[in-house]
Structure 1
């Protein structure tokens, strides 16, 4: 097992550890062997290490197969750098028992190269996904009002299309269709693989001549709010995306258009991410937060779509 000693920590978008690779005080004869042992400490085994100066990707052990969150590069035959994109970890090991300025410099260069390659791969995949989204959207038909998900939620298919049994929610960025969220009959939701996620949004209703706009997480919540209040509602998809979407919306809309963040109340989840992220988004643009009101003793509802459905069921 490799125990790198921390000689230098640099903020390179993650943690950078530059140190020696050794077992029982002995030095390694090859960087391949040193790196193989270092990765084994993270549960990564069976890789054919290539010390060719290229950037190589591999699956991290704590994510599903095919995640390719791990990376390594051997810029020289004495230095190896590896890390994990999803955690921000980065480590450097050497064959010798002592780190030096040259190893630190190689670390910085290797990380920069890895980051640039990853960014290029990400942009290329996003472009492919956007093209797929546009093809699917163009070929899709109008959503069936009797789709099981719509029937369950008792909602009209505002702005949706359908491909086979999947409802399609269009996701836009700067006015361009870049991704689709698929809603399956049983309610599962999933965007297309590799598509842009941050800052993407959909819309229920029309922004034309609107003097008030709401921003909500999910499509069903947005549809329920639009149905109840008659105002356009922007769909951010999840709590983490509320702030990026709200910021962009505030930039695009006239100052006299009021933006309100309609929060999910994740009251049964630790930290209540729905309410917490909604408040942060509102604070970022100087907006107010709208919270759902539940029936006394309700232990089921968490968002406006739940509340709307609950009220419809009581009336029925």
Structure 2
């Protein structure tokens, strides 16, 4: 959409892809127009450059250094800005009304910004994959006494360790492209800028398997592997289940059964664990395996929780 730059109050309400305007006015420079528009989002103090290049900036709703915002001024009368994490995009002009030329300039600028973003993203993924391979090669075997493993009562199952962080290797098309770090307090983070969609880890071996499970977290996968002795693919989170399941089905022979092992997020609105597992199963024609809890259990939500609960109660 095209938004005319405005004076105070510059912004009334926010909706995805739209701006509600109050007073409109003409600006003497595109820098002033864009500065006012960005201020409505809490972005101030930028040295705006109308040089035709794509510029990045931090958004106010994310941590410092996020660089989720962008703008480009294709001319001295038009600017386009947006936010990568929301997909929002807007255009401002110095005039009181838009014209076809300004609209065309805005479209081209937005396309250029998107292309540059994709180029930067792909290069960052390459850099992160190289970092992941270096870290993995230099890391030693995980300490079986690591606090996360002892808390979960699980064996390392091939994990490695860098300082205090366990390293879970994540693969895409058979190549190591990222690492998930599991810290002693249970926090989990992939390497910055690495590929995350469609990547997966593995507990056990796929070779010779007749059945493969797909689970969210590494601990759940490890608990299932210890209980059932079948390989378990680690999708990392519910949103990644379908992408991982689809790629797995494409690469495995048809006679190998794939089952989605769902987290039962029964205490979360919408139960994303079950919902996303069922969607992934539907996408590849698979079944869903659900954890079974004790009648009065108010704590467990996944297979790792159930395994730990049973060990604690000597079952």
Name the TM-score class by shorter chain: over 0.9
Which residue of structure 2 aligns with residue 11 of structure 1?
none
Which residue of structure 2 aligns with residue 284 of structure 1?
283
The answer to whether the 8 A contact 1:161-1:167 is kept is yes
Which residue of structure 1 aligns with residue 144 of structure 2?
145
Which residue of structure 1 aligns with residue 10 of structure 2?
none
The answer to whether the 8 A contact 2:3-2:91 is kept is no
Partners of 2:177 and 2:214 in 1: how far apart?
19
3-state SS, counterpart of residue 181 of structure 1: strand
Which residue of structure 1 aligns with residue 121 of structure 2?
122
Which residue of structure 1 aligns with residue 155 of structure 2?
156
Partners of 1:251 and 1:34 in 2: how far apart?
50
Which residue of structure 2 aligns with residue 62 of structure 1?
61
Q: Normalization by structure 2: what TM-score?
A: 0.93
Partners of 1:3 and 1:116 in 2: how far apart?
23
The answer to whether the 8 A contact 2:3-2:92 is kept is no
Structure 1 runs not aligned, ≥5 long: 6-13
Partners of 1:186 and 1:281 in 2: how far apart?
30
Q: How does 1:173-192 map to 2 (within 5 A)?
A: 173-192=172-191
Structure 2 runs not aligned, ≥5 long: 6-15
Deviates more, 1:120-129 or 1:31-40: 120-129
Deviation sequence 1:247-296 (CA, Å, 0-9, x none): 00000000111000000011111111111111111111111111111001
User: 1:235: Cα distance to partner?
Assistant: 0.2
3-state SS, counterpart of residue 27 of structure 1: coil
User: 1:26: Cα distance to partner?
Assistant: 2.9
> Number of aligned pairs?
304
Which residue of structure 1 aligns with residue 295 of structure 2?
296
3-state SS, counterpart of residue 206 of structure 2: coil
Which residue of structure 1 aligns with residue 192 of structure 2?
193
3-state SS, counterpart of residue 56 of structure 2: strand
Residue 50 to residue 297, structure 1, CA distance change in 2 (3 Å): same
3-state SS, counterpart of residue 81 of structure 2: strand
Partners of 2:25 and 2:211 in 1: how far apart?
69
Partners of 1:69 and 1:144 in 2: how far apart?
37
Over the aligned positions, Cα root-mean-square deviation in angstroms equals 1.8
Deviation sequence 1:171-193 (CA, Å, 0-9, x none): 00000000101111121111111
The answer to whether the 8 A contact 1:16-1:92 is kept is no
Which residue of structure 2 aligns with residue 242 of structure 1?
241
